Amino acid sequence: MTSLSPALGVGGAILALVLAITVAAPWIAPYPTTEQHMLDRLQPPGARFLLGTDQYGRDLLSRTLFGARPALGLGLGAVALGLALGVPLGLTAGYVGGRFDDLIMRVVDAMLAFPSLLLALLIITALGASTGHALLAIGVANGPGVARIVRSATLALREAEFVLAARVRGERHLYVMFGEIFPNVMAPVIVEATLRVGFAILAGASLSFLGLGVQPPAADWGLMIREARQYVFLSPWPLLAPGTALALTIVAFNLFGDGLRDRLGAT
Amino acid sequence: MARYALRRLASIALILLLVSAIVFTAIHVLPGNAATLILGEYATPEALRTLERDMGLDRPLVVQYASWIGSVVTGDWGVSLAMKQPVATIVGYRLRNSAFLAVTALIVVVAVGIPLGTVAALRRGRPLDLAIVTATYVGISIPEFVTGLALLLVLAGPSVGLFPTSGYVELTSGVTAWARHLVLPATTLTIVLLAHVVRQTRSGVADVLAAPYIRTARLKGASPRRIVLRHALRNALLPTITVLALDLGYLMGGIVVVEEVFAYPGMGRLIIYAVQNRDVPLLQMCALVVASVYVLANLAADLAYAWLDPRIRYS
């Protein structure tokens, strides 16, 4: 048993905290997220409002705590969708090879030529702005990148002895792909997925910031920052509270993913 | 070299064709075509059908796609639904503005990132290295809109007022005013992009410094300064070119958010405008232009790499 690397330890600790907050938000938040205190607008942190209030006098601590839910939900959901699209595609392309592989990879390359935010914007134009559509758009935008990683890992195992053995035994192709190859490409897929959650949370927050994701009056970090923008010179707290939470969460996923890569890559 | 360039050009042409097909599909296969968008949701079915016929929307998708590609190639980019102006004119102006921003950011990233990465590699494991690596890691993890607003808060507030909070002025109204409007958005982009270049330069220089030929240079008595500048950096910087090309992709995404924060009239803000107004002709050309710039930048990086490192051409 080797000791935890700092990246894995620090990242993991913050992630555990964020996860705990996501679950426990209703019990630890001092106020309902949409409760307005019109006499206490844009207050700095104080005894009644620990992180201050926003332009409607809503408690920033409560809103920031609850904001972990859409962030984590969107990040995990979008990456799950990206895996659901990318893993079968990458496995098939790598396993079948030949012209099929060429065709799939050309399409993947073309999709990777779009900055992923742009691809998400195209999809949102067609569907309209909402939390669900943001998740769908970011998920689809993640598919090609996942497919590429899985495909190259699969390619390396195609001629491995245990794969050839399974084929000689007469196993079906689907079984060879998902039963034999997939468990052995899991490690890079897990690392990739962890790093992608951070980016997906960032992309989701960006969409909400642009007004194309989570809609008001929900408590979401990107949306809170969008609303804080107008009042930033009157009070910095509506920007700082969700901004710090968002940055910490993304740092945590990046640290954890990098730590995981070093750990799994070394063994 | 010429053969390598030709081979890469051919594959780029194919990718651009696929890119245009993806843009077209994303916009046209999904519900709500341009006729519905123009006439609004209360249009009568007859009016819709007439307009659809006039716009050629009743033809098969493949035919529509072919005719769209035909007009794009011949320079007819259509008219924006919301702005009532030729798309080519709008995109040209906005692309130029974004290029000012992107090029400024990239120059600063190179000018700051490569020295920082080199210093970190030379002081590996020491406090200075740790500080540089940590600072750039934090920089890349904070979303652009938070960094941008924080810079705004600190440097453009009513009490400080060093820079304008938003907007853009033409070069013709003075270089200083023009540059002042570029500082904050360009700095925001730089902070986000710095991490990649610093990290790549740091590991590149560290690897090269461990190579036997550097030991030879040291043994023959070359000064440390000469070893780093003449011997190490030349080889260490090759992968940094690739990282810069990849960064251009981040830049294209980042520019959307940063231009929105600073109300800067470039491609990014144009895209958001097109999305908000569901301006299909404008949006599909914006998407195509942005993706093409990215693909061509990658081609340029590959060619530069192959030119600098002959081994690539023959692989």
Residues from A in contact with B at Cβ < 8 Å: 106-107, 109-111, 113-119, 121-127, 198, 202, 205-206, 209-212, 222, 225, 228-229, 232-233, 236, 239, 243, 246-247, 250-251, 254
Within 8 A of A211 by CB-CB distance, chain B residues are 276
Contacts of residue B293, defined as CB under 8 A and 6 or more positions apart, other chains included, come to: B248, B252
- Which of B275, B294, B299 has the most A C-beta neighbours within 10 Å, making it the best mutation to test the interface with A? B275
- Name the pTM for this structure: 0.88
**B256-301: per-residue pLDDT in tens?**
899 999 999 999 999 999 888 888 889 889 989 988 888 888 888 8
Q: Which of A210, A187, A243 is nearest to A67 (CA)?
A: A243
Whole-angstrom distance, CA of residue B136 vs CA of residue B159: 29
B 176-235: CB under 8 A from A: none
Q: How many residues are given for chain A?
A: 267
Asked if A123 and B26 come within 8 Å (Cβ–Cβ), the reply is yes
Distance from CA of A102 to the nearest CA of B (A): 12
Report DSSP state, residue B185: H
- The answer to ipTM > 0.90 is no
Element (H, E) at B232: none
- Tokens standing for A77? 């959901």
Asked if A225 and B146 come within 8 Å (Cβ–Cβ), the reply is yes
Asked if A106 and B15 come within 8 Å (Cβ–Cβ), the reply is yes
- Which of B36, B41, B145 has the most A C-beta neighbours within 10 Å, making it the best mutation to test the interface with A? B145
Between chain A and chain B, the number of residue pairs with CB atoms below 8 A apart is 127
- Which of B36, B141, B248 has the most A C-beta neighbours within 10 Å, making it the best mutation to test the interface with A? B141
Would an 8 Å CB–CB cutoff place B143 in contact with chain A?
yes
Within 8 A of A210 by CB-CB distance, chain B residues are 256-257, 260, 272
Tens digit of each residue's pLDDT, chain B (315 residues)? 788 888 888 888 888 888 888 888 877 766 656 666 667 667 777 877 787 777 777 778 888 888 888 888 888 888 888 888 999 999 999 999 999 999 999 999 999 999 999 999 988 889 999 999 888 888 888 889 999 999 998 888 777 777 888 888 888 888 888 888 899 999 999 998 898 899 889 988 888 888 888 888 888 888 888 888 878 887 788 888 878 877 887 787 788 899 999 999 999 999 999 888 888 889 889 989 988 888 888 888 888 878 777 776 655
**A131-144: per-residue pLDDT in tens?**
998 999 999 999 99
Peptide bond between residue B164 and the one before it cis (omega within 30 degrees of 0): no
Whole-angstrom distance, CA of residue B212 vs CA of residue B195: 28
The minimal CB distance from B138 to the residues A114, A205, A251 is found for A251
In chain B, the residue whose alpha carbon lies closest to the alpha carbon of A140 is: B26
Contacts of residue A102, defined as CB under 8 A and 6 or more positions apart, other chains included, come to: none
Q: Which amino acid is at A236?
A: P
For residue B211, the SS3 value is coil
Whole-angstrom distance, CA of residue A224 vs CA of residue A216: 9
For residue B259, the SS3 value is helix
